[in-house]
Every structure is written in structure tokens, then in C-alpha cells.
Chain A
């Protein structure tokens, strides 16, 4: 879908580059997670890809054509989910959606989307009177209202209760199942693990690692089994490598002769991988 080569960007007001030569691709039909510490340039990258920022250096192609060749028709096929509210406060949700829908040639059934997200009953309420979570959900409807093929989502579930967060995640998955492509920016590692086909980590304006969550875990995980067992009156803890565990005499002896209390494989969590890859240390 997108090929990004040596993307470098500096805000006109800044002295240093925010992006320092980004290289990555977004494959059609995938959900690519863009992760990285706060302030690293994720939103900047997204804003370049949605053509709000130009004057970048490097090459970006969308469907094999330079991004700069596209005019406003580009927006017919992309959807953008913003993190902060983006609606007229004194208009109702319904009025807002009707206004924006008229700007597009193809539109989604927004009533259906509102129903799914539990906003249908409140569609005639002014958006200014919406709660924070309701605004977040409405932003998601806004992102989908033109039936986009490519979706940019910035923290789509931030501040939502588990139920609504579940609904949005399901809808993201369904969007992908229908052939849609997504660039997902988030700090929620659960969402990443659940949704992303691939994850790109950004550090200092560069992509330092890009891979599937599974491969990341294989590469970074220690793959160990931790066994807790009772040893006379106390409990003891022992770790075994998962490699050839069935031939490990010490392990076999232990499970045959001791009372096992718990057994856990020590997988690397996305949280830990994030910290390891991005090298986030304490702020000084």
C-alpha cells in the first residue's frame, strides 16, 4: 500500500529533524502497529502519510504512485481516526456526520455504526455534551464514514471502558477481514498483540525494528519454564530452558517426586519487548 524510503522531516520551527530517514512498507491488508516512546515522531509520520504535512524529504509511494501526485481525491479512500475530539460541539452527532458525509462520494451506513458503538440513542445530542469516551467513539465513526480502504488510527481505544474498547477492536478486525489496511498508533500493548500483523518500533526518528509480534517474542523472549514446588515446609522455585525439556533429568525428577504448585512459561511480554527495543530508561 505504502512504501516509505528515507523519510526525513523537520518542523519549520525546529532546529533538528524529527524524522531521520524512515524506511518501511505498509502491506495491503495488514494491520501495522507503529510503536515508540512519546515524542518520537509517530503522529508526525501519520500526518505526513495523510498529507497534512508536506515538505518532507525522501520518497513515499501510495499504490505505486508518489504520494505528492495525489490531490484531494486521496481523501476519498483513506479514513483518519484522531485522538482528540474533531467535531462541532454545538451540532449534534447526527448533524456532524451528515455534514461530513456530504463531502464524500461513497459513504457508510453511519446509523449502523452508531448503533454498534452504542451512540445511536444519543445521536441527536450535541457533541459538546458528549462524555470523553463518547467523543472517542464518534471519532471512530468519523474515520469510517467514507468506507475507506486505508485507515489511520491514533489511539483508537484510549480512555474507553473494556466493553467499548472490545467493540472497537472487533470493528478494526472486521475492517481488516474485509480487505482493509490499517496503520495503528497506540501505547496499549494488549491492542497491539491482539490486532497487529506486524509491529514497527520507532526510536529517535527511525524505525529500529519491524516484525510480527510472534517473531519479536521469539527473538527477545528467553523461553523458560518456571516451576514452583513444595520442598518440605517451604516452597522453592526453579527455571528450566524449554529446549529438550522432555529429556531434562532434573526437570523430570522434579515433576515426578515433588508437589508442584505452579508452572509458568516465561514469555516475553510486548511491554518488555517495547522497553528492550526502544531502550527506554528512567527519565533524567
Chain B
């Protein structure tokens, strides 16, 4: 794991050089703008929604897009003939991604602390970002493994959002029946949403435990496949 530090430092350096950090800050200000316009009393709930959407989408997009560009620039080949392990590579990327998530969310959080009325569990928030971010970063890996070009990457990411987040929005709008609502519990996005409800103290303990369990087990299973398919991916990207 010695090279993990170097790889992570590289991720952070590139976050700056490729203006990913700038983008994160801009996104944070976009969310702040949205919250500012709301003018409700307690914005905890809206804040939790923002965290949900931001972490789910940015985790997938950032892993997908950075690996895509590394592929295009040919650096993956260079990285794959260095003395690193696939675990170091996967961990470094995921950790970089989680840090990027944290930066956006913490900026928004500090704004709400200073200018708004918010009531959330900070430790819970950090834990939720970690779990939701980890799970969806791994989803990002699997999506990029199976994409041959940028269009395919975009289509697959969009498909994930549509399939997994639209039902959550529908539930939120109250248009789903009981059966559909129960089926939602099969979705990782539902588990993520429950976690965020937990952060603002609106989830039942049993439901919350189940969601935490879902995301941990889910991440382990995804992690298994991300590791297993890594070699095939690396071989394909070494192509001529």
C-alpha cells in the first residue's frame, strides 16, 4: 500500500490541474444559490436532498470521466506498467473521489451553518457521504469498464440516474403505491436516500440500519467485481 499515497497525491494534483476542484466549488455555489432562494425556516431537508443528488451523481461521473480521460491520454498504460497493485489504483481513485465529494458538501454545509437554520448530525453526514460515495464510485468503475467511448459513458451514466433516481423522486412526490414503495428498498439509491433522512433524524432506526447494511454489503460485492474485472479492463486499455 506504499504507492497508495503517491497515487492519491497524484489524484489530488490532477484535481487542481484539470480544474476538477474549481468545478466542485462552482457546483457548491450553485447549490448555495438554490438554498438561498428557498427562504424556508429549517433547510435541513433540502440540504439532505442536495447531498443525496450531489454525491450519487458526482461519484459516478468523476470516476467515469477521469478514467476516461486517463484512457484517452494513454496514461493508464503507463500506470499499468508501474509497480502498483490494482487495489492501490482503485483505492486511490475512490478516496480522491470521496474527498472531492466532501469538499463540495462541506462548503455548502458551512454556508448553511452561517446563514441558515440547519439541524443535522455532522458525524452522520460524514458517514453517509463515505458510504454513498464509496458505493457509487464503484458503480462508476463498472460503468467505465464496459464503455468503449464517451457517448456510451454518458448514456450509461444517464441510464443509471433515470433507473435509480426517478423512482425516488416519484416516491417523494407521493405518486407511488405501497407495493412500488416497498420495492424501492431494493435500490441502492433508496438506501442512500434513507441514510440522508437519518442524517436529519427522520429515518426509523431499523430502516436506517438496513440501509447502512445494504450499502456496506453492496460495496463489498461491487468491490469484488471491480477488482475481478480490472485485469480485463487493463488489458483492453493496453490495446494498440
Interface residues of A (CB under 8 A from B): 12, 43-44, 47, 50, 52-54, 71-76, 78, 80, 82-91, 95, 99-100, 102-105, 142
Which listed residue (A73, A75, A91, A100) contacts B13, Cβ 8 A? A91
Do A75 and B82 contact each other (CB < 8 Å), given the known contacts A47-B238, A103-B3? yes
Instruction: List, in ascending order, chain B residues with CB within 8 A of A85's CB.
Output: 73-74
Complex Cα–Cα for A80 and B232 (A): 20
User: In the complex, what distance in Å separates the CA atom of A83 from the CA atom of B78?
Assistant: 11
Are A54 and B84 in contact, CB atoms less than 8 angstroms apart? no
Please name all residues of chain B whose beta carbon is closer than 8 Å to the beta carbon of A72 when the two chains form the complex: 82-85
Write out the residue numbers on chain B whose beta carbons fall within 8 Å of the beta carbon of A76.
83
> For chains A and B in complex, what number of residue pairs have CB atoms within 8 angstroms?
77
Cα-based distance from A20 to B85 in the complex (angstroms):
30
Assess A87 versus B84: contact at CB under 8 Å? Given A12-B232, A47-B238: no
Q: How far is the CB of B92 from chain A (nearest CB, A)?
A: 11
Closest residue of chain B to A78 (Cβ to Cβ) is B81
Interface residues of B (CB under 8 A from A): 3, 6-7, 9-10, 13-14, 17-18, 70, 73-75, 77-78, 80-85, 231-232, 234-235, 238, 240
User: Looking at chain A's contact residues, is the secondary structure mostly helix, strand, loop, or mixed?
Assistant: loop
A105–B74 CA distance with the chains assembled, in angstroms: 23
Do residues A100 and B77 form an inter-chain contact, with CB atoms below 8 A? no
Contacts of B81 in A (CB 8 A): 50, 52, 75, 78, 80
Q: CA separation between A165 and B9, bound complex, in Å? A: 35
User: Using Cβ atoms and an 8 Å threshold, which residues of chain A touch B77?
Assistant: 52, 82, 86
B13 near A103: Cβ-Cβ < 8 Å? no
- Distance in Å from the Cβ of A47 to the closest Cβ of chain B? 5
Cβ–Cβ contact A91 & B85, under 8 A: no
Tell me, in angstroms, the Cα distance from A86 to B80 when the chains sit together: 11
Measured between beta carbons, the chain A residues less than 8 angstroms from B3 are: 102-103
Q: Which residue of B lies closest to A82 (CB)?
A: B77
In the complex, chain B residues whose CB is within 8 Å of the CB of A54: 231, 235
Residue with the highest number of chain A CB atoms closer than 10 Å, among B6, B7, B82, B85: B82
- The answer to whether A100 and B78 touch across the interface, beta carbons within 8 angstroms, is yes
User: Separation in Å of the A102 CB from the closest CB of chain B?
Assistant: 4
**In the complex the two chains form, is A86's CB within 8 Å of B78's CB?**
yes
User: B10 — which chain A residues lie within 8 A by C-beta?
Assistant: 99
Chain A residues with Cβ under 8 A from B232's Cβ?
Answer: 12
Question: In the bound complex, what is the Cα–Cα distance between A83 and B73 (angstroms)?
Answer: 13
Given contacts A52-B234, A52-B238, A90-B18, contact A104 B83 (CB under 8 A): yes
Q: Is the CB of B13 within 8 A of A87?
A: no
Residue of B nearest to A73 (CB): B83
CA distance A109 to B125 in the complex (A): 47
- Whether B78 lies near A82 (C-beta < 8 A) is yes
Give the chain B neighbours of A105 by CB distance below 8 A.
83
| B74 with A87: CB separation less than 8 A | yes
**Contact A103 B14, CB 8 Å, known A84-B74, A86-B75:** no
